[in-house]
């Protein structure tokens, strides 16, 4: 799952990012409204956490423009503005939830999960490829009925692969979506984590699901022997 945080307070943003990454979410952070609007407009996020008191364009303006662009990504407003009229305005502009600061991280994550469950009406959960099942809400993985325990990064990598099962993904694409950084595409971090993932997902099972496309990248698919 990919989360976009639009928050100008670096302390709050770092706290959110650390907690969400530990829960296997891929997180992007923007510290102002204009940048947040640009990144949100690129799409690909499952949830947006939006502060209202932002430099430049405030959160209401960002929210208004996101919905005007036709993006239906769930949005949680996270703000210290507790006036009833602000809550009403945010929800009327298209926010899906409104959480006040100071906040409980566990409650915020429960609200994120609730929005994701609601979104499952538009997608398949769990995602199943052959005998592999990935629950993208519960973050659990099973193959042939056996539970597979993954690190947060391994889970994020597998989820990206299964969401695009059958499609070849380049190393650069994987870096951008799983590590959320502009790394040198020649780095071997993708290959290292793919090898670790294979040991857990493929080793000891009838047929491998993660395949290398030489010179291109990787693909997750079921191939008959």
Predicted confidence (pLDDT) per residue in 106-147, tens digit:
999 999 988 887 765 445 678 899 999 998 878 899 999 999
Task: Tell me, letter by letter, the H, E, C secondary structure of 58-118.
Answer: CHHHHHHHHHHCCCCCCEEEEECCCCHHHHHHHHHCCCCEEEECCCCHHHHHHHHHHHHHH
Whole-angstrom Cα distance, residue 133 to residue 158?
Answer: 11
What domains, with CATH codes, occur in the chain?
2-121 (3.40.50.2300), 127-220 (1.10.10.10)
Digit-coded pLDDT (tens) for 172-186: 888 878 876 555 555
Mean pLDDT score of the chain: 89
Q: Enter the pTM of the model.
A: 0.66
DSSP string, 123-174: S-SSEEETTEEEETTTTEEEETTEEE---HHHHHHHHHHHHTTTS-EEHHHH
- How high is the pLDDT of residue 122? 45
Q: How far apart are CA 3 and CA 49, in angstroms?
A: 7
Q: What pLDDT shows up at residue 225?
A: 45
């Amino acid at each position: 799952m990919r989360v976009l945080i639009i928050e100008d307070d670096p302390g709050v943003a770092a706290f959110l990012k650390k907690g969400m990454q530990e829960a296997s979410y891929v997180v992007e952070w923007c510290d102002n409204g204009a940048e947040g609007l640009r990144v949100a407009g690129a799409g690909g996020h499952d949830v947006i956490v939006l502060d209202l008191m932002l430099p430049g364009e405030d959160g209401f303006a960002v929210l208004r423009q996101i919905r005007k662009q036709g993006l239906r990504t769930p949005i949680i407003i996270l703000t210290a503005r507790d006036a009833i009229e602000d809550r009403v305005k945010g929800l009327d502009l298209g926010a899906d939830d409104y959480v006040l600061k100071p906040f409980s991280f566990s409650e915020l994550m429960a609200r994120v999960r609730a929005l994701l469950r609601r979104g499952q009406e538009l997608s398949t959960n769990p995602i199943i490829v052959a005998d592999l099942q990935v629950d993208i809400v519960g973050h659990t993985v099973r193959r042939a009925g056996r539970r597979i325990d993954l690190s947060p990064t391994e889970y994020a990598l597998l989820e990206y692969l299964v969401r695009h099962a059958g499609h070849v993904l380049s190393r650069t694409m994987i870096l951008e979506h799983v590590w959320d950084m502009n790394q040198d595409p020649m780095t071997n971090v993708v290959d290292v984590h793919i090898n670790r993932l294979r040991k857990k997902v493929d080793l000891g099972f009838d047929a491998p699901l993660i395949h290398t496309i030489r010179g291109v990248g990787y693909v997750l698919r079921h191939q008959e022997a």
